């Protein structure tokens, strides 16, 4: 009898208009009525498996800091890492900076050849190759091992030329010299100094590079007795500016990702 009365009361309730507050309570309760108070075991297992798979698939590409390292860099470290670290230590250079130069110069291709004749992982010009091979007692500077050694030695030599700059500016001036030639960067420093800027500040030198073009010949006449830059006019200043910033970008990433 009591059960019949409860059923009748339920029917009467359902016939009445449902107020908004009651509707909200119903909507909240329905999922629990369907599934219970816990997530289904199958759904829980699926989420756990997905997380594990994602983590395992990225173990090779993430270091402890969690920053992504591209597969091209990983392969290159496995192949050339010991050589890079050996000569970086010998010539007191950060091996991650060398790795950044290699990425920008050759994309880690040992037989990379530029339209100007620069060759190898470190993209060394033929005349510079011969000069460096002679200094280092090498038969050649084209093979990966010798190319890396010669390139690191060359970077160190350029780094020594900017002893008055702080470390960060010194690196950028070194990279600019590796790309454009030391004499061009020294010319840009002359212009920066003439304009009252700090010649050991990369920003000042970067701003002075466009002023080495022929259109600024009137300025050149005031800076140099011969009336023009010692290394001649310079047109590829945009490329050098982008070169430095690109490598510094790689270097920043590698310093975080590689210990």
Question: Helix 167-180 and helix 144-160: axis angle, to 10°?
Answer: 120
Q: What span, in angstroms and rounded, lies between the C-alpha atoms of 209 and 130?
A: 28
CA separation (Å) from 33 to 15, 26, 28, 36, 38?
A: 21, 10, 10, 6, 11
CATH architecture of 71-257: Orthogonal Bundle (1.10)
Rounded Cα distance, 140 and 203, in Å: 36
Whole-number Å distance between alpha carbons of 144 and 83:
9
Helix (H, G, I), strand (E, B) or coil at 259: coil
pLDDT in tens, the chain (259 residues): 554 455 455 455 545 555 555 555 455 554 444 433 333 322 222 223 333 333 333 333 334 344 467 999 999 999 999 999 999 999 999 999 999 999 999 999 999 999 999 999 999 999 999 999 999 999 999 999 999 999 999 999 999 999 999 999 999 999 999 999 999 999 999 999 999 999 999 999 999 999 999 999 999 999 999 999 999 999 999 999 999 999 999 999 999 999 8
Which residue numbers are catalytic? 105
pTM of the model: 0.75
- Contact criterion met (CB below 8 Å) for 209 and 235: no
Cα separations (Å) of 218 from 61, 197, 208, 215?
Answer: 53, 19, 14, 8
Q: How far apart are CA 113 and CA 125, in angstroms?
A: 10
Domain with CATH 1.10.530.10 in the chain: 71-257
Q: Is the CB of residue 234 less than 8 Å from the CB of residue 187?
A: yes
Transcribe 175-212 into DSSP letters: HHHHHH-HHHHHHHHHHHHHTTS-TT-HHHHHHHGGGG
């Amino acid at each position: 009898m009591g059960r019949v009365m409860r059923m009748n009361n339920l029917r009467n309730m359902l016939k009445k208009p449902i107020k908004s507050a009651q509707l909200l309570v119903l909507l909240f309760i329905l999922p629990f009525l369907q599934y219970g108070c816990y997530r289904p075991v199958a759904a829980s297992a699926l989420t756990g498996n997905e997380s594990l798979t994602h983590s395992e698939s990225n173990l090779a590409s993430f270091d402890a800091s969690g920053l992504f390292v591209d597969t091209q860099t990983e392969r290159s470290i496995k192949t050339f890492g010991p050589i890079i670290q050996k000569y970086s230590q010998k010539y007191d250079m950060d091996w991650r900076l060398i790795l950044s130069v290699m990425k920008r110069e050759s994309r880690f291709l040992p037989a990379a050849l530029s339209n100007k004749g620069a060759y190898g992982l470190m993209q060394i010009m033929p005349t510079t190759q011969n000069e460096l091979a002679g200094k280092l007692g090498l038969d050649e500077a084209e093979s990966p091992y010798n190319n890396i050694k010669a390139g690191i030695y060359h970077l160190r030599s350029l780094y020594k030329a900017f002893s008055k700059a702080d470390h960060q500016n010194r690196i950028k001036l070194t990279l600019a010299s590796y790309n454009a030639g030391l004499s061009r960067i020294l010319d840009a420093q002359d212009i920066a100094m003439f304009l009252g800027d700090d010649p050991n500040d990369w920003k000042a030198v970067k701003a002075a590079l466009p002023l080495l073009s022929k259109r600024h010949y009137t300025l050149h006449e005031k800076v140099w007795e011969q009336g023009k830059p010692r290394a001649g006019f310079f047109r590829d200043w945009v490329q050098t500016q982008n070169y430095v910033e690109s490598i510094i970008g790689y270097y920043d990433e590698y310093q975080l990702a590689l210990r």
